């Protein structure tokens, strides 16, 4: 939990990797949460303290509603933090992960397998 960020995060690097849809469903079923939105550099750095740098993690970011308009599934708000280059690589990159090493957002196919981090607002 991070009271400054107003959120509680749930993650376990030992849980099997899953697709974007499976990750979001996992968060909802197990924690009443969604896959995490990462809306500031401060939040990304806090998540880094929880996760380290060696794994990729699903976020709730996607453009499944409107192509090339990436939004957070948990709030519906358009992504701004690191979103300018999302979706420029290939048309099938519709979901957003935090990539290894930098934990910066990266659009990727939704059926790839990544770790899950869940987030609820407090």
Task: Tell me: pLDDT of 106 over 80.
Answer: yes
- Provide the CATH number for the domain formed by 3-121 in this structure: 3.10.100.10
Domain residue ranges in the chain: 3-121
| CA gap 99, 72 in Å, rounded | 17
DSSP string over 96-109:
EEEPTTT--EEEE-
pLDDT band at 120 (very low <50, low <70, confident <90, very high): very high
Contacts of the segment 64-70: beta carbons below 8 A, 24+ positions apart: 64/94, 64/95, 64/110, 67/91, 67/94, 70/96, 70/107
For the stretch 52-105, pLDDT in tens is 878 899 999 999 988 888 999 988 888 876 666 676 667 789 999 998 888 889
What average pLDDT is seen over the chain? 88
Of all residues in the chain, the percent with pLDDT exceeding 90 is: 46
């Amino acid at each position: 939990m991070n009271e400054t960020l107003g959120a509680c995060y749930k993650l376990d690097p030992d849980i099997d990797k899953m697709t974007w849809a499976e990750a979001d469903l996992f968060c909802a079923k197990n924690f009443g949460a969604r896959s995490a939105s990462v809306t500031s550099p401060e939040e990304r750095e806090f998540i880094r303290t929880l996760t380290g740098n060696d794994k990729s993690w699903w976020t709730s970011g996607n453009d499944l509603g409107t192509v090339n308009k990436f939004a957070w599934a948990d709030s519906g708000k358009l992504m701004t933090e690191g979103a300018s280059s999302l979706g420029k690589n290939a048309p099938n990159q519709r979901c957003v992960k935090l990539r290894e090493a930098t934990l910066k957002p990266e659009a990727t196919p939704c059926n790839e397998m990544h770790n899950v981090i869940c987030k609820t607002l407090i």
